[in-house]
Structure 1
Amino acid sequence: MSKIRTVVVDDSALVRSLLKEIINRQPDMECVGVAADPYAARELIRNLDPDVITLDVEMPRMDGLDFLEKLMRLRPMPVVMVSTLTERGAEVTLRALELGAIDFVAKPKIGVANGLQHLEHEITDKIRIAARAQVRKLPATAAPAASPAAAPAAPGTVPVRAGALGRLSTEKLIFIGASTGGTEATKEVLMQLPADSPAVVITQHMPPGFTRSYAARLDGLCRIAVKEAQDGERILPGHAYIAPGGLHLSVDRSGANYIARVQDGEPVNRHKPSVEVLFRSAARVVGPNAIGIMLTGMGADGARAMKEMRDAGSYNYVQDEATCVVFGMPREAINCGAADEVLPLQRIAPALLERLRATAGLSLNRV
């Protein structure tokens, strides 16, 4: 097999040197060039035709986002962003994912040398994933993000008026699991949900320091309220709850109410938060009132627990290969018999809403 040819773009000479060293230690990849700014990177990309580039978020001469936007319009290719663990870094990184970056690595604010060495496996795993990911080309002009009131319905969507789902929203819970490519996929689903949607509980693989900004970003785009989950809080209709980075999220019952459980613990399937933890609680606590959604992501996290959900009576949607950035977690869910329907991303929310209307508040046991 040919090696994954990588170009490193970072304004820090130390970071460039460390990333080059980390990449060249891997038997299946090589760093074919380094650049201190996007102008130098442009020439390297043109001359070397790399498989993947790592790109610093904030650089002099040309901002990393400006460069990424131009790159994804003119010569789309897999990009792994290198971010800082700051609020500003999180905001910029989320915008980079909107523009088409495959994933990101959060470098430490201090102790960069030791920190990057500690992240060697994460960095190289994400480069490998990026090399196999589906890359989307940006349109010639990027439309501004739609406001909740003005967000257009996706093709195939039946308009949903407030109150149209009735008491469904007090009985059902929607569970979403996602990893690589999932920040945008989850946004696509949530933006199509009406204000009186059943509550949504989400585990997206994301490190500490980024989920709060991600939730705030979605909250400004969606009709439902979106927030980072807090331990012990009641799970309410018209709200979405995102697992905090570095903590597991599950659901429990307190009397007649569902509540969120946010807890520390060992990684599950190498992840914290883990989709397996969330979906297993859905099978145990919610049963036939659960609706499962598995979106794009690498690996198998959550697949077996999604089958447990289905066995307990839930109805499950899985994203199809054509619309996934990485068809890993969805493939595993399909292979283990967890899927009721396999759909393109843009069809998942409309199908879910149509099923909710059709069941008229009844539990979703298959017939």
Structure 2
Amino acid sequence: MLSSVTPSDGEKPRIKVLVIDDSALMRHVLSEILSSDPEIEVVGVASDPYIAREKIKLLNPDVLTLDVEMPKMDGLQFLRNLMRLRPMPVVMVSSLTQKNASVTLEALELGAVDFVSKPEIDIASKLKEYASEIIEKVKVARFATVTKLVDSKARRCSETFISPVGAPNIASNLHFKTTDQIIAIGASTGGTEAIREVLERLPIDTPGTVIVQHIPGMFSGPFAERMNKCSAMTVCEAQDGQRVLHGHAYIAPGDFHLSLRRDGARYYCVLSDHDPVNRHRPSVDVLFHSVAKYVGKNAVGVILTGMGKDGAEGMRAMHEAGASTLVQDEASSVVWGMPGAAVAVGAVDEVLTLPKIAARIISLYEPHR
């Protein structure tokens, strides 16, 4: 049911949403879920990108929900055009399939704020189980920082990383080198692209890097593969008991906590399916607390863009253990929830714009090289 009630004087304007999906059932269910929140108004629906284009002009929505697979025009092409010509917050709606996981990650690269996973069967009842998550993501998207897509930002992570001319290829030696330093990174909303920007700027001899991005299980593998193609480092989805090596980055699998343990001078990945922390599994706090315990002052902790407060207490533990702690600044963050929460608890040494984070990480471990 579409709402058309105009807020009275003094009331907070509602978030205007346009639902774009070729499925009549999905349009109905999403509209019903979003309209159930008094702060949201579904101003219209569209069954394909051409209808959506006209309704955007007519209705001027604050947020779009956009199906990944669309008729007449591919959802990615529509998003690409939108972000070049009229950038605005978009929440993608994607089925939990390997193919759609890769497409959704590309949509995030193009500028989508976040995504919602829709079930393959019994859509109406299953989707309603995630109503609060859908509503929250739309509300966060409304105030997210969205920038215009330009050709330089539209670069794909589909081609294997090529080292700069003259850079020595020393990966074969580094594969067997352990390190007593660790880089620990946490992120959520907007984090897939923020992590990419950091990883592609880090050199091949970076200390072992462990990463938690809030992401569903079906998406973490394709995300790791995508990052591996963007980085001089070897990037993979972490496995339980896997040794943390120099020149490698390990991404927490969706639905599993990632932490570290130490055995002598060596660090190992530990995966667990314990209860969510701060509503998340994987949780940044779980990783950071383990890094504080086992790595201490030899670690660098980084919190990038993200919704909520996950990682703040873990970063405070790292800070108190002597680690260097960095967060992304508000201006360059899609959502300054997690970095802001870490600042609020006094856990942060430096607040940096995203392009400067990799350089600062390098400067912090360079004295030990």
Q: TM-score, normalised by structure 1?
A: 0.92
1:147, distance to aligned residue in structure 2 (A): 4.4
The residue type paired with residue 351 of structure 1 is R
- Look up the match of 1:122: 133
Structure 1 residues 85-94 or 347-356, which shifts more?
A: 347-356
Find 2:51's aligned residue among 16, 37, 40.
Answer: 40
Match of 2:64 among 12, 28, 53: 53
Of 13, 16, 31 in structure 2, the residue corresponding to residue 5 of structure 1 is: 16
How many percent of aligned residue pairs carry the same amino acid? 52
Distance in structure 2 (CA, Å) of the matches to 1:111 and 1:241: 35
Aligned pairs for 1:121-270 within 5 A: 121-139=132-150, 142-145=154-157, 147-149=160-162, 170-270=179-279
Q: C-alpha separation between the residues in 2 aligned to 1:96 and 1:35?
A: 19
CA–CA separation in structure 2 for the residues paired with 1:92 and 1:140: 19
Cα deviations by residue, 1:50-74 (Å, 9 ceiling, x for unpaired): 0000000001111100000000000
1:82 matched residue in structure 2:
93
1:327 aligns with 2:336: yes
CA deviations on 1:21-50 (whole Å, 9 max, x unpaired) are: 001100110111011110111111110000
Q: Give secondary structure in 2 for the equivalent of 1:58.
A: coil
**Deviation for aligned residue 1:112:** 1.1
Equivalent residue for 1:311? 320
Paired letter, 2:161: P
The code of the aligned residue for 2:368 comes to A
Contact 2:68 2:100 in 1 (8 A): yes
Match of 2:346 among 337, 348, 356: 337
Whole-angstrom CA distance in 2 between matches of 1:140 and 1:279: 36
Seen in structure 2, the aligned counterparts of structure 1 residues 336 and 161 have a Cα distance that, compared at 3 Å, is: farther
Query: What is the rounded CA distance, in whole Å, between the counterparts of 2:361 and 2:155 in structure 1?
Result: 27
Q: How does 1:63-74 map to 2 (within 5 A)?
A: 63-74=74-85
Asked if the contact 2:237–2:252 (Cα under 8 Å) also holds between the matched residues in 1, the reply is yes
Asked if 1:295 is matched to 2:295, the reply is: no
Quick check: 198-207 or 141-150, which moved more? Answer: 141-150
Judged with a 3 Å threshold, the aligned counterparts in structure 2 of structure 1 residues 352 and 161 are, in CA distance, closer, same or farther, namely farther
Counterpart for residue 368 of structure 2: 360
Measure, in 1, the Cα distance between the counterparts of 2:100 and 2:155: 23
User: Residue deviations 1:244-268, cap 9 Å, x none?
Assistant: 1111110011333111111101111
Q: Secondary structure at the match of 2:326?
A: strand
Indicate the residue corresponding to 1:99 in structure 2. 110
User: Take 1:67 and 1:349, find their aligned partners in 2: how far apart are those partners?
Assistant: 32
1:14 aligns with 2:25: yes
**Residue number in structure 2 paired with 1:156:** none
Deviation at 1:195, TM superposition (A): 1.3
Gaps of 5+ in 2: 1-11
| Residues 65, 96 of structure 1: 8 Å contact kept | yes
The alignment partner of 1:40 has SS state of helix
Change (3 A) 1:219 1:257: same
Structure 2 CA distance for aligned equivalents of residues 262 and 31 of structure 1: 41
Q: Distance in 2 between matches of 1:340 and 1:240?
A: 23
User: 1:317 offset after TM fit, Å?
Assistant: 1.1
CA distance in 2, matches of 1:43, 1:192: 40
Structure 1 CA distance for aligned equivalents of residues 53 and 205 of structure 2: 47
Q: CA 1:241–1:35 in structure 2 vs 1: closer, same or farther (change >3 Å)?
A: same
Contact 2:177 2:245 in 1 (8 A): no
Aligned residue type for 1:360: H
Q: Which runs of 5+ in 1 are unaligned?
A: 153-158, 362-367
Rounded Cα–Cα distance in structure 2 between residues aligned with 1:75 and 1:55:
15
Moved more, 86-95 or 256-265: 256-265
Can you list the C-alpha shifts for 1:198-219, whole angstroms capped at 9, x where unaligned?
0110000001100000000111
Aligned match of 1:108: 119
Q: Which amino acid aligns with 1:148?
A: F
Paired residues in the alignment total 354
Write out the 4+ residue segments of structure 1 that deviate beyond 3 Å after TM superposition: 140-147, 159-164, 166-169
Contact 2:178 2:266 in 1 (8 A): no
CA contact (8 A) 2:214 2:254 kept: yes
In structure 1, C-alpha distance between the alignment counterparts of 2:156 and 2:188, rounded to whole Å? 25
Displacement after TM superposition at 1:360 (Å): 2.9
